[in-house]
């Protein structure tokens, strides 16, 4: 007899969440890319912080999205 426990069924939230993450990255890249002509006219010393912030800001919506993917709620349980 096989005494191994059956593995849990995968949740549909994880593939949907991965697609949403890819969508967020794509939309953010289009937004930043469409602003690049104006940002490119600024001096280099002003461009650097703008692109650093733009490179970090897209991460902010990921925490609640990752929580939803794991728990089904948009907040981690306290």
Record the pTM.
Answer: 0.74
Q: What is the mean pLDDT of the chain?
A: 87
Interatomic CA distance for residues 38 and 51, integer angstroms:
12
Spatial separation of the C-alpha atoms in residues 54 and 29, rounded to whole Å: 9
Q: Span 46-73, mean pLDDT? A: 90
CB 62 within 8 A of CB 21: yes
Give the residue extent of every domain in the chain.
13-71
The pLDDT-based confidence of 44 (bands split at 50, 70, 90) is: very high
Burial of 67 (0-12, 13-18, 19+ CB in 10 A): middle
Q: What is the mean pLDDT of residues 70-75?
A: 79
Q: Helix crossing, 13-39 with 44-57: angle to 10°?
A: 170
Average pLDDT over residues 43-49: 95
Tell which wins on pLDDT, 10 or 37: 37
Q: How many whole angstroms separate alpha carbon 46 and alpha carbon 70?
A: 39
Average pLDDT over residues 42-49: 95
> pLDDT per residue over 24-34, tens digit each?
999 999 999 99
């Amino acid at each position: 007899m096989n005494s191994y426990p059956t593995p849990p069924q995968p949740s549909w939230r994880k593939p949907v969440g991965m697609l949403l993450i890819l969508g967020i990255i794509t939309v953010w890249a289009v937004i930043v890319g469409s602003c690049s002509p104006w940002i490119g006219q600024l001096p280099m010393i002003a461009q650097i912080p703008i692109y650093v912030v733009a490179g970090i800001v897209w991460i902010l919506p990921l925490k609640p999205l990752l929580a939803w993917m794991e728990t089904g709620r948009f907040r981690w349980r306290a």
